[in-house]
């Protein structure tokens, strides 16, 4: 039988005590972690506070020995200032939630990708922010995207060489002023230099689906253009009177003002209250009579 050592203990823990010698049984008793009770406490050697044993990091996973400094003192020695945020994050994690490092929203752990290298086995950003970050890296050819490209294709070259190789093989994506651009970064820089449009504004317009020519418009022109597009997409309202159709309420009110001398504000108010087109052309007295009759009918029915 091989010599029983401390390193072999986790692998041989299922061996019965009858097969072990006295020295091996003694070693097993020393190596067995002690069961922690909720009432067990310890005094920190730095701050001198008496705290539960769970507030001390485990120093040896085999023996279960813990550090002489509490968790707060260890974090302070490592340069951590905001301990409250760490405790809040730990409480969230115990309940099955986590706070995203980019959007700062609290989401379930299922919204975070698992990573064994992290302390809590989950990355710090959610799936949505991670996808946005990867898309931006791909559009701008950032270092993160280029490093993954080198690792994925098993290339032995620097980041700049790989970036130049990607630019040579990539097709032109953006076209403006008869000039071609392969990356969003180059396109935004050109628009900023030529038209003084901020870089973030140009990037957001591209991601929202606007064309390259829309990106060079000023903020005022861009807003007016978006308003016109929204009016076109809006369902058309058809108002008919005197065998004529009107798409907008303004045109309808103007026609009544010219033909029947009904003020535009009165027409718009009548339309908001639910009156028909024929009732909008009536005078004020006639409209009052109709409203009085309606009120009488409604009271009688009630």
List CB contacts of 136: < 8 A, sequence separation 6 or more: 142
Interval 221-230 mean pLDDT: 71
List CB contacts of 71: < 8 A, sequence separation 6 or more: 55, 56, 57
Q: Is the pLDDT reported for residue 284 higher than 50?
A: yes
Q: Is the pLDDT reported for residue 5 higher than 70?
A: no
pLDDT at 29: 65
Domains 17-77 and 85-144 alike in fold? yes
Residue 249 pLDDT class (50, 70, 90 cuts)? confident
Architecture of domain 17-77: 2-Layer Sandwich (3.30)
Q: Are 70 and 46 in contact (CB under 8 A)?
A: yes
Distance of alpha carbon 76 from the chain centroid: 31
Q: Which of 275, 278, 277 is nearest to 291 (CA)?
A: 275
pLDDT at 215: 86
Q: Is the pLDDT reported for residue 205 higher than 70?
A: yes
Cβ neighbours of 253 (radius 10 Å): 23
Q: Is the pLDDT reported for residue 18 higher than 50?
A: yes
Residue 31's Cβ-count burial label (10 Å; 0-12, 13-18, 19+) is middle
Q: What percent of the chain has pLDDT over 70?
A: 80
- Residue 53 carries which DSSP code? G
How far apart are the C-alpha atoms of 240 and 12, rounded to whole Å?
A: 90
Q: Are 157 and 140 in contact (CB under 8 A)?
A: no
pLDDT at 273: 76
- Ranking 123-137, 164-178, 222-236, 271-285 by mean pLDDT, the lowest is 222-236
Q: pLDDT (tens digit, 9 = 90+) per residue, 69-82?
A: 888 888 888 887 77
Residue 296 pLDDT class (50, 70, 90 cuts)? low
Segments in the chain forming alpha helices (H): 22-31, 71-77, 83-94, 127-140, 143-153, 159-169, 184-195, 199-207, 212-215, 219-233, 249-260, 264-273, 277-280, 284-301
* Domain residue limits, the chain: 17-77, 85-144, 171-232, 239-301
Q: Are 89 and 98 in contact (CB under 8 A)?
A: yes
CATH topology of domain 85-144: Wheat Germ Agglutinin (Isolectin 2); domain 1 (3.30.60)
Q: pLDDT (tens digit, 9 = 90+) per residue, 34-50?
A: 544 545 888 998 888 88
Q: Are 270 and 264 in contact (CB under 8 A)?
A: no
pLDDT at 6: 43
Q: What is the pTM of this model?
A: 0.44
Distance of alpha carbon 189 from the chain centroid: 26
How far apart are the C-alpha atoms of 67 and 254, rounded to whole Å?
A: 84
Q: pLDDT (tens digit, 9 = 90+) per residue, 90-144?
A: 788 888 888 888 888 888 888 898 888 887 788 888 998 988 888 888 888 888 8
């Amino acid at each position: 039988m091989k010599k029983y050592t401390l390193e072999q203990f986790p692998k041989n823990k299922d061996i019965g005590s009858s097969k072990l010698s006295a020295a091996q049984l003694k070693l097993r008793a020393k190596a067995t972690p002690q069961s922690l009770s909720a009432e067990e406490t310890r005094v920190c050697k730095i701050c001198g506070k008496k705290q539960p044993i769970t507030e001390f990091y485990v120093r040896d996973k085999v023996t279960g020995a813990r550090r002489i400094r509490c968790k707060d003192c260890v974090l302070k020695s490592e340069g951590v200032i905001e301990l409250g945020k760490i405790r809040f994050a730990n409480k969230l994690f115990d309940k099955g939630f986590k706070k995203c490092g980019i959007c700062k929203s609290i989401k379930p752990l299922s919204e975070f990708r698992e990573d064994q290298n992290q302390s809590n086995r989950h990355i710090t950003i959610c799936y949505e922010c991670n996808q946005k970050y990867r898309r931006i890296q791909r559009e701008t050819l950032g270092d993160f995207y280029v490093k993954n490209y080198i690792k994925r294709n098993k290339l032995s070259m620097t980041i700049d060489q790989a970036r130049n190789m990607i630019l040579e093989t990539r097709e032109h994506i953006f076209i403006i002023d008869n000039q071609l651009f392969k990356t969003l970064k180059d396109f935004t820089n050109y628009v900023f230099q030529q038209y003084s449009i901020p870089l973030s504004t140009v990037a957001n317009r591209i991601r929202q689906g606007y064309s390259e020519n829309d990106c060079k418009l000023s903020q005022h022109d861009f807003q007016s253009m978006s308003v016109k597009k929204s009016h076109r997409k809006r369902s058309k309202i058809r108002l008919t009177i005197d065998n004529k159709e009107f798409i907008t309420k303004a045109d309808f009110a103007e026609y009544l003002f010219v033909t029947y001398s009904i003020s535009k504000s009165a027409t718009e108010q009548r339309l908001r209250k639910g009156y028909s087109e024929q009732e909008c052309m009536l005078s004020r007295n006639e409209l009052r009579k109709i409203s009085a009759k309606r009120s009488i009918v409604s009271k009688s029915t009630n």
